[in-house]
Chain A
Amino acid sequence: LIAMKLIVLLMIVSLSRVSAEGFGQGITIHEKSASIPAILHNIEKQSKYNFFYEKADFPTSLKITVHFDHVPVETVLDECFKNQPVTYRIFQQTIVIKKSVAPKPEDIVSSPDTTITVVGLVQDEKGRGLPGVSVTVKNSKYSVNTDINGRYHIPAPTNGILIFTFVGMQKQEVAIAGKTTINITLNLATEELGDVVVIGYGTQKRRDINGAISSVKAIDIATIPQPSVDQLLQGKAAGLSITQNSGAPGSNTSVRVRGVTSLSGTNEPLYVIDGVPISGDANNSSTSGRSPLQTAAGYTYTQSSVSPLAMINPNDIESIDVLKDASATAIYGNRASNGVIIITTKRGKNGNAKINYNGYAGQQQVSKYIHMMDLKQYARLQDVMSDIFGVGRRPDLADSSLLGAGTDWQRLVLRKALQQSHQLSVSGGKDGMNYYVSGGMLQQDGIVIGSGFKRYSFRSNLDAQVKEWFKLGLTLAGNRTAEDVVQGDNNGIIYNALLQAPDLTAYNADGSYSGPPASDPLSVTGVINPVAQAKQITNHLNRSNLNTNLYNDIRFTRDLTLRSELGGDFNFSDNNLFTPSYTWGRFVNTNASLNERSQQSTYGIWKEYLTYQHTFAGKHILTALAGHEVQQANWRGTQGFRQGFYSNTVQSLNLGQATTATNDEYKGSQSQESFYARVIYNYSNRYSFTATIRKDKSSKFAPEHQIGYFPAFAASWKLSDEAFMQNIKTVADNIKIRLGYGQVGNQEIPNYLYGSPLNASVTGLGTGFLLNQIANPNLKWQTSIQYNAGLDFSLFNRRVDATVDVYKKTSRNFLFQLPLPAYLVGDFTYLGGINPPYVNLGRVENQGIDITLNTHNIVSEKVKWNTSIIFSHYNNTVKELGTGLDELIGKVTNGFLDVAATRTVVGGPIGEFYGYRVKGLFKTDDQLSNAPQQFNRPVGNNSAGTWLGDVQYQDLDNNKVIDAKDRVALGSPNPKFTYGITNNFTFGDFDLSIFLYGSYGAKILNLLDRTLGGLAGPYQNQYASVAGYWTPTNPNTDIPAPKVGTDNPNIFVSDRFIHSGSYLRIQNINLGWNVPARWLHRAKIGGLKIYSSVQNLHTFTSYNGYDPEIGASNQSAILTNIDNGRYPLARTITVGMNVQL
């Protein structure tokens, strides 16, 4: 993967024709009689450069003196090497130094077998001659070096093989086959290039890390038209399971790093954006407990949370590093139990300023429609409904020959929608001052009418080398989003569009919105006009975010640095929900209402940490870190409500009736202080050991339980560098074994759970007070313990690179809100109930394996083909719950009923589906009279009885009665594995990327099957597929007969509604053309790439809903993969352009 990424990265760089010589970091160096390695080390310290060279090339006796201030690195190197027989080349941040030996006549040794002299040119990928490349005739001692221009000539046998080697480049072998001229291009040996990984409070080279860390670079996600970075990570990093919980623009995504660890808290990772930690929890459950977005009264279990990451412009991101195992995350201690994702944004580099435009525009389309009954089928069903409801049939539907196809509501609420993104950035650096400034705009209209998302983002990243010993920098990002949100899920737009009757039209003859007729009492089961609902009931959310980090580095000695950081994250949001006055059939609102919320949160962090790095005796490399930090978060919000508006157009509280006004406030704060230390010891680049300890003190707990300690250890052994492994290097290389162990914590719970708040409550007697919470003064830290074993290796001269990690992650004493029965705590707290206590309870285990495989299938000069495969598997098991807690139920509202959809029991996965198993339909009187009685319903042809055509359930507990005890596990919402396969092809100036993403083995509970296939009420459209329901004349079917009421056993949750959630999606296809530099030169354009991409092209699945990627309801672990009318994902076709000046 790394290799692939770097190659693609280099392609872009070469495209941009920014010469590597232009780089420089403003080196300031004053050394007297120092060795060249010491000078190089100094440069490494103060810049981002890494050097590759043979120590033997610089005898220790060689001492030189240099004095420079703020000069390009080349100036220093030229001075160092002016009398030395070496050359150097700069690749990105890596400088390779090689002995330069001009070919001397005596090097060309005559050989008796020589028949020809081969000449040629060796170039790098940018077409520049490479001096000092070693050219050897295979199986001989004949060897020459290329000259300063990269040319060589060597005597060789006509059928011989030439081997080209150069430090930092991939070795190449070329058969001579009689040719006398052989020109070749050497590619970067990427593994050697010391890819840098951010490990938290520091960086390490990829080859040195001991933990399990996946990295994604900007280039991997650059041309995927997804607005949010969490969505972009899907299928790009092993160990991450990512699902988009809704297709609505700006909605939340579930990111699960190595499974699910918490039942009632968040399972989202901690994001660290340029040093500022931000929770991925869209519900803010550990702070305000509120999503910035409100939902209309009465809508529960609907997606109401919005993505905190939608605020960030992905184009500004340089790299993403995913810290997966506890040995890697332990440095983040108490907030690390769900993994840590470190996002580093782009920064300026010394050299010529670059102006970069990156933009795309395209169209989102609906990728699937669900086949509903047409008007004729619907009319027949209404007759049956009238019969079973005991009323006369509707005369307007009597003559089916007069009926057409009816209204296709899906096509009325779904549309083609625009998506576009534009970003302009300027970056560069001069005299020790680097800058990156960008501005971006994104617009994503929703494919459901009435929904849309806009983002304006600005970023300014500055770094200044003020003094040789003092550097400071500022990251400052401002973002503004505007969202129009439509009601989703249960009773939402999609749900209602599917359910709406086809005999209704969206508009009445006079142009007003229609609805189920008020004149017919049966229409009480009809649903609101979804077109009107989407367009007229407006829910608008504006969010503003300021994310900033100010840092400075003070270098006390060459080895010892103090870094200070002051970071902040500030969020301000406004949410207006306006319900106009309307008359839409039987749905009438004479009194418009407005609910306005204004919310703000501030977060601040102050860090101080010392880093010491020293190499003892050339072999013992020690990196030590010690730090201290303090964090504080504050939040507050107010809400105002009025109704009785005389106009629907101007929406302000001022215009409502003052007597109807209500208001509300919430506020709170939390704090934390931490100390941490880390030691990384490396011996001879073969053995490495990391130890980390962190101590956190948090306001979340009662004073005696506030402190937690989180230790971690990791070790690695680079097996392939051992002498005894030298023989297999040609087959397998870079073999490293890693082992890690660590403990991390979790505190993502609400405040003051150790006490008993008395909530003020409005009553007719004045303000009242309700006990809000059963206190648990003994509440303490949750601990997640994780073991990790990893293996890195490459095969066949790095044509294949692989990383495999296996892990076991156990959450002990996890923080969990006890699901006490209602007879102890009553109703929801807003309805006067008491919150059950949070407890430290039980044990949940996740075991899994992450595999990353990168292969270079074709590596020729003109054609390249790389493949990257990501594979993630985990097995989630609840090992222990509290005593007496047998199962935890996950409930969803479907229609107007609470449906117990999932349970969590010891030995099973979190949130498995459960319900009844269907035996078949009652088709004979015999079956009716002999079968166990179901749900106390005697045999009888009425709505309260069991009759022919009803579903017969299996008596799984064999007690001759069908009741709630016959429910069993019906499958897990967790996939057995997920995978991403990316194929990148390059043909000259064209590149093609094909990205497949798949998920295998998960189950889906489609609650729409209840609503859309339940045949339980009039005025509701149904699946076309259930038109063949049971009747005495149609006995050979498995579709039950219509039945009155949604609380009828035919539509209880059973295996009828469970579907396979396996799918393979063509997630993205991207074709790019790098316009040749020679065409751009005259226009002074540095580089131009034009690309076209298709996102979500096709999904191979057997699922009957819109899309098998369901995700979780508001990120809830126990309500995952339940389809309740989810906003579908769009297929997006875009054309984009990347211009660099």
Chain B
Amino acid sequence: CKKDFFNRPPADTLTLDNFYQTTDQVQAGTNALYNSPWFDWNNKASWSIAEMMGGNARTYSPDVINFSNFSVTGDNIQLSAAWNALYSVVAQSNGVINNLPTHVAKTIPAAVVNNALGEAHFMRAVAYFYLVRTWGNVPIITNSLDYVNNYQVNTNPVTDIYKFILNDLQFAEANCTAMIRNGSKTQGHVSSGSASAFLAKVYLYMRDYANARTEAEKVINSGEFKLYGVDIAGKTYADLFKTANNNNEESVAALQWQGGSAYGHGNSQQAFFAFTSQITGTGDGYGSVAGSIDLTSSYEAGDLRRKPTLMYPGDVYPEIDQAHGGFTVPSNAISQGTSALLKKYVVGTPADNGGLGAAFSTGVNTYLMRYAEVLLIEAEAVLAGKASTTDPAALGPVNKVRQRAGLSPLTTVTQDNIMHERRIELAMECDYWFDLGRLDGFNVTSHPKAIAIIDNQERGIYSTTTPVVVWSQKYNISDANFLLPYPTTESTLNPKLLQAPVPYHF
């Protein structure tokens, strides 16, 4: 038989050998970095870690209940899901970083190639930022092929991982295209400004307030992003979490889901957040998680962010289940022992979302960062560790965020003010646990302040008896609880994960 008879490349996929030949291909080459590799992180793991351990949310769901009571073991499926997903992002980003330069056609403009490489560095940095905050020391991988024959690698220390993240973000800042956000749906890719914003956040974690401020102000002064409802009139905090407003002017970086697509390509959070399938219209809507007493009692009176974050009985949501004239939360609505049901990222039926949607698959973007957070970073960078400040550079941004929430302006700003604002502003956006983790310093092993907060958090429920009392659940945690165990399957394959980290060779 002829040689061709034995040449059977895939008939249903492209291959590296015939890709990256046009500008369109190079640009599309990064699309997937915003999607399915993040799925298992977005699905359950991110909120199990950040919201349930942080004390914002509670559950009875047996697969994730151990996050809320600090008893997660290396066998936990969502623990593995978090690890696997974040390293999927790393692996796919590495794929672009390593393959694009060697396979790209010479005719493609350098700026196009560099922008794509910048996006890949950005995504890798964000993944490592979650990894280092969840597990501490983890291995830095820049090319999986290097380790195929010897995959038992050591972890690298937290400080090296932060340095690696800074390098990646600086690369992204230098190589990604600058843009001014106009709310157009095509602006889903990250920009150099997105990288600057993340640099600000990473510097803040490192308590490098000067650089954090520099980067934050770079973003603020560029005018690339705007605060919905303040800079952009006619919009509200609630509008941020509507599918129609994906990639709005406030979106610094976001995962790009496709509503109604196959499992793994849509946003599945609504399936677990929505407390009834009347809301989703797609059979899911399990109410697997709900707001904790500690979170609900933290809201200031009149905070406009409560209703877009948590549904209370009697609340009306005209945008949900529009076919039946909107959704009114029943007076007896209860989920996970509380009546504080989740709203954020709950977007309703497919019909409410332009006909797009399916079980485990809405089209609403998941924010990696919003401009509101950049403002809060700026304020905290200006505060720079001091007990309080009245510096307008700090007050201005905080009060801009409070203004949208319908709250009176602050006259002085403390770290507690900022922590509270961050908690409420970013509730269910997977941040609070990590904020608690940095409260006592950068890369510290002792967490007295955070432990004091958590020990006092009410994680129980209101009773079903009359009169209503609190069936209390509180947990006394230790410093060791601030890092999660490595997935057992990983530490079994590679016992070196459990050894002391070794410095990374930059």
Contacts and interface: CB of A to CB of B under 8 A. Distances in A.
B8 A668 contact: yes
B69 A588 contact: no
Contacts of B84: 822, 826-828, 831, 833
A833 B91 contact: yes
B427 to A, nearest CB: 21
A771 B29 CA distance: 10
A763 B258 contact: yes
B16 A669 contact: no
Given A822-B490, A897-B77, A521 B336 contact: yes
A755 B334 contact: no
A391 B471 contact: yes
Interface stretch (B220-228, B262-270, B295-303, B408-416): B262-270
Given A1045-B65, A1046-B62, A900 B10 contact: no
Nearest to B38: A832
Chain B at the A interface: SS class: loop
Contacts of A581: 283
A886 B490 CA distance: 12
B489 A644 contact: no
Interface string B186-209: 001100000000000000000000
Nearest to A898: B77
A758 B260 contact: no
Interface stretch (A58-66, A567-575, A589-597): A589-597
Contact of A767 (B28, B246, B355, B357): B28
B283 A591 contact: yes
A84 B36 CA distance: 86
Interface in A520-557: 521-522, 524-525
Contacts of A664: 262
Contact of B85 (A761, A827, A834): A827
A524 B141 contact: no
A346 to B, nearest CB: 35
Interface stretch (B104-112, B144-152, B175-183, B431-439): B144-152
A223 B273 CA distance: 57
Given A521-B337, A943-B69, A883 B475 contact: no
A944 B14 contact: no
A827 B83 CA distance: 8
A762 B262 CA distance: 8
Interface string B355-378: 111111001010000000000000
Interface stretch (B394-402, B442-450, B459-467): B459-467
Given A764-B256, A826-B84, A832-B88, A751 B148 contact: no
Contacts of A757: 10, 13-16
Interface stretch (B161-169, B274-282, B417-425): B274-282
Contacts of B359: 297, 589, 591, 593, 643
User: In the complex, which of the residues A391, A698, A818, A819 has the most CB atoms of chain B within 10 Å of its own CB atom?
Assistant: A391
A819 B493 contact: yes
Contacts of A659: 260, 350, 354-356
A700 to B, nearest CB: 8
Given A591-B359, A664-B262, A964 B282 contact: no
Given A751-B8, A764-B363, A765-B189, A889 B73 contact: no
A884 B144 contact: no
Given A762-B35, A763-B35, A771-B92, A521 B28 contact: no
A555 to B, nearest CB: 28
B85 A964 contact: no
Contact of A826 (B17, B34, B87, B288): B87
Interface stretch (A175-183, A323-331, A990-998, A1047-1055): A1047-1055
Residue among B10, B276, B282 with most chain A CB within 10 A: B10
A769 B31 contact: yes
A897 B144 contact: no
B291 interface: no
Given A763-B35, A832-B39, A758 B19 contact: yes
B327 interface: no
Contact of A822 (B87, B92, B365, B460): B87
A831 B288 contact: no
Contact of A763 (B6, B19, B265, B494): B265
A831 B36 contact: yes
A765 B256 contact: yes
Nearest to A595: B262
B55 interface: no
B281 A591 contact: yes
B492 A889 contact: yes
B229 interface: no
Interface residues of A, number: 113
A1010 to B, nearest CB: 12
Nearest to A580: B283
Interface residues of B, number: 131
A900 B36 CA distance: 25
Given A660-B358, A673-B1, A827-B85, A895 B63 contact: yes
B71 A937 contact: yes
Contact of A827 (B40, B139, B349): B40
B216 interface: no
Nearest to B37: A832
B393 interface: no
B281 A1052 contact: no
Contacts of A703: 3, 6-7
Contacts of A665: 12
A528 to B, nearest CB: 11
Given A830-B264, A889-B493, A896-B77, A525 B62 contact: yes
B176 to A, nearest CB: 15
Given A392-B463, A659-B260, A884-B151, A827 B12 contact: no
Nearest to A895: B62
B61 A758 contact: no
A590 B278 contact: yes
Contacts of A673: 1, 5-6
Contact of A900 (B5, B75, B92): B75
Interface in B460-495: 460-461, 463-465, 471-473, 475, 480, 485, 487-495
Interface in B287-330: 287-288
A657 B38 CA distance: 28
Most B C-beta atoms less than 10 A away, residue of A669, A697, A821: A821
B257 interface: yes
B285 interface: yes
A949 interface: no
A758 B33 CA distance: 13
Contact of B8 (A298, A699, A761, A937): A699
B331 interface: no
B276 A588 contact: yes
Give the top 8 A-B pairs by smallest Cβ distance, nearest first: A826-B88, A589-B283, A832-B37, A768-B32, A768-B31, A659-B355, A764-B256, A896-B63
11 contacts: A521-B337, A662-B261, A662-B262, A757-B10, A764-B363, A822-B83, A828-B84, A833-B84, A834-B92, A887-B493, A895-B62
Given A667-B12, A771-B16, A897-B77, 15 more contacts: A392-B471, A657-B355, A659-B260, A662-B262, A765-B35, A772-B13, A823-B90, A834-B144, A884-B149, A887-B493, A898-B489, A964-B74, A1045-B62, A1045-B66, A1049-B73
